[in-house]
Chain A
Amino acid sequence: MLPAVVLAAGISLYPILYAIYLSLFRTRYLEKVAFVGLGNYRQLWADPAAWQNLIHSLQYVFGSLAVVLPFGLGVAILLNQRIRYRSIFRTLVVLPWVVSQTILALLWGWLLNPDFGPAMYLLQVLGAGKFSPLSDVRFALPTMIGVNAWGSYPMAVILLLAALQTIPGELVEASRVDGASRWQYFLRIMLPLIRPTLMVTTIMLSLLYFNMVTLVLILTGGGPSQTTEVLSLRALKEGFDFWRVGYAATLGIVIFVFNIIFSLLYLRLLREEGVR
């Protein structure tokens, strides 16, 4: 027990406290120059770029959720049908789960390559002009959401399928006997039953998306003209490109607070569901 406590305290708890401490200072490299109290937070509040970063983050989170949740649920329902070779299908379908964010970015960067990528070729065959989705300010963020969705839908499928499999088969039959349509079964029986899992999935994915750095850094680096620079990428850049350590710590704390807000919000919703 003790080693676990030490590790958790030393590598997670202490750093977050240290981050709070650092965020109260003006820094030069790792040296604390002057205590500024909440100065960094005030500066952040007045920083229009940071607000842009936050908006991008939220667009990224909710955009990805809007793609991944319905798609993941659909695939989970497909896999829950009585089919042959189910385990083979399931394995292949969730395979993108093992693809790391680094590889995700490299692979899709190449697929979407405007000159030689098959994705762009397909678009051109369909009649679109030649363009580079990742360097176009209008398309960069939606494209990144699409790539992210490809990399993260397996998580939703795995969790939702596990929940679907706990629904007893008799329920389907009973609802059919009672004359319920498929659609009614889906809305009135299946959705309420898997709601808790749906909620947990939503929380996990939201946090994953909100804190995501690697994919964004490698795929676009925040560009073009900062249209894909999310809050977490900004924190990394402030810390390790510009070495504004105090400011980076401030951003980190703000991100942490958002994580807490996300979780509490969803948990609250979940609990209200339970009461009803």
Chain B
Amino acid sequence: MSRILVYGLLFCVVALALLPILWGLSTALKTKGEVVTYPPRWVPRPPTLRNFAAVLRETSMPRYFANSLLIGLCTVGVTLLVAAHAGYALARFTFPGKQVLAFGILATAMIPGISVLVPLYALASKVKLYDGYSILVIVCSAWQVPTTMWLLKGFFEAVPRELDESALIDGCSRWSAFYRVILPLSRPGLAAAALLTFIFVWNDFLIAFTLTVSNSRRVIAVGLYQYISQYGIEWGELMAAVVLALLPVMALFLALQRHFISGLTAGAMKG
């Protein structure tokens, strides 16, 4: 294929990928009047940060950001803790029923979220966790653990067995062999798992939408949704909030994309 054609087409695809996001950014930087000029203008003249200031000062968005961050970090912690131990057990031990358990856990990842939302709601109200942070962390973790476990199992299996055996001979216990030898060597896998889990929580709408109700528990995605239904749409401010919500994940992605790709492809090739 001729070089020029390849580059030309790639530029078109890049434009397609970026323009919608740039349009959002451009809108966020416009004044109220410029947002509604027609024909639409791509470069704000002059750009203003007023929308961002309004979002940060006059709305509850900062609170929602903090909530998302808190739930995201907790979920990453719980998911990694649970999934790493399970993955290690699958990678290194033999015990009766192992195959059944492994596939049983993985199979739960096949249950569509929408099918269990109603029962989860009922369950959450019954155990009095409805509208709390903990239920979000628990549900998000439960949905992430199966695939994360599988991902980490792959990384643990890639560590040569001789390494933990020699650690055992050197007097390490099983636990410390795991913590001191295998985990550090699987850091890329842990990073990939942590990133995918965090993004999952940050981007989740459904779990939070159905399992929380009060303003103080609201996460960023639900906050954005309420924003359009509550105030009538102020596009400049809405896009400023969108840009703020997009920034952290985009920064993570740009900085650490190698881990993302390896995590995604490893997760998908599981079958």
Find A78's partner among B13, B37, B39 (CB 8 Å cutoff): B13
Residue on A nearest B112 in the bound complex, by CB: A211
On whether the beta carbons of A14 and B123 are closer than 8 Å, the reply is yes
Q: Determine the distance from Cα of A10 to Cα of B120 in the docked complex, in whole angstroms.
A: 10
Tell me the interface secondary structure of chain A in the complex: helix
Q: Are A213 and B114 in contact (CB under 8 A)?
A: yes
How many contacting A-B pairs (Cβ < 8 A)? 243
Question: Which chain A residue shows the least CB distance to B116?
Answer: A15
CB neighbours of B37 from chain A (8 A)? 116
Distance of A118 Cα from B239 Cα, bound (Å):
15
For B143, the chain A residues whose CB sits under 8 A away are 11-12
Residues of A within 8 A of B246 (CB): 98-99, 103
Q: Are A91 and B257 in contact (CB under 8 A)?
A: yes
Q: Assess whether B17 is interfacial by the CB under 8 Å rule.
A: yes
Q: Does B206 contact A (CB under 8 A)?
A: yes
- Residue interface mask A8-40, B partner, CB < 8 A = 1: 111111111011001000000010000000000
| Cross-chain contact A102 with B224 (CB below 8 angstroms) | yes
Secondary structure dominating the interface of B: helix
In the complex with contacts A16-B111, A91-B257, A102-B221, A1-B206 CB distance below 8 A: no
Q: Which residues of A in the span 200-218 have a Cβ within 8 Å of any Cβ on B?
A: 200-201, 204, 207, 210-211, 213-214, 218
Please determine whether B20 and A7 come into contact, CB atoms closer than 8 angstroms: no
**In this assembly, does A92 line the interface, its C-beta being within 8 Å of a C-beta of chain B?**
yes
Chain A residue with the shortest CB-CB distance to B135: A11
Which of chain A's residues have a CB closer than 8 A to the CB of B35? 116
Digit string of B183-208 for contact with A (CB within 8 Å is 1, else 0)? 00000000000000001001111100
Given A89-B14, A252-B114, A8 and B205 contact (CB-CB distance below 8 Å): no
Residue A136 at the chain B interface, CB threshold 8 Å:
no
A107 touches B145 (CB 8 A): no
Do A78 and B6 contact each other (CB < 8 Å), given the known contacts A3-B82, A103-B242, A200-B269?
Answer: yes
Q: Collect the chain A residues with CB atoms within 8 Å of residue B204's CB.
A: 100
The answer to whether A115 touches B110 (Cβ under 8 A) is no
Q: A132 to chain B: closest CB distance in Å? A: 14
- Report whether B40 and A116 are in contact in the complex, using a CB–CB cutoff of 8 Å: yes
A67 to B1, CA, bound (A): 23
Q: How far is the CB of B12 from chain A (nearest CB, A)?
A: 10
Instruction: Contacts A96-B17, A101-B205 given; indicate if A106 touches B228 (C-beta within 8 A).
Output: yes
A12 near B116 (CB under 8 angstroms)?
A: yes
* Interchain CB contact (< 8 A) of B224 among A5, A103, A159: A103
Taking the nearest CB of chain B, how far is it from the CB of A191, in angstroms?
17
B142 contacts which of A11, A200, A201, A249 (Cβ < 8 Å)? A11
Chain B: which residue is nearest A270 at the CB level? B271
A-B contact pairs, 27 of them (CB 8 A): A1-B85, A1-B89, A1-B101, A3-B81, A4-B85, A78-B9, A78-B13, A81-B6, A98-B199, A98-B249, A98-B252, A102-B205, A107-B21, A108-B20, A110-B23, A116-B37, A154-B17, A162-B265, A162-B269, A207-B110, A213-B114, A213-B206, A214-B205, A232-B112, A240-B121, A255-B112, A259-B112
Closest 10 interchain pairs by CB? A11-B142, A100-B203, A252-B115, A4-B86, A12-B108, A15-B119, A15-B116, A18-B119, A211-B112, A1-B89
**Which residues from chain A sit less than 8 Å from chain B, CB to CB?**
1, 3-5, 7-16, 18-19, 22, 30, 75, 78-79, 81, 83, 89, 91-103, 106-108, 110-111, 113, 115-118, 121, 150, 154-155, 158-159, 162, 182, 197, 200-201, 204, 207, 210-211, 213-214, 218, 232, 235-236, 239-240, 245, 248-249, 252-253, 255-256, 259-260, 263
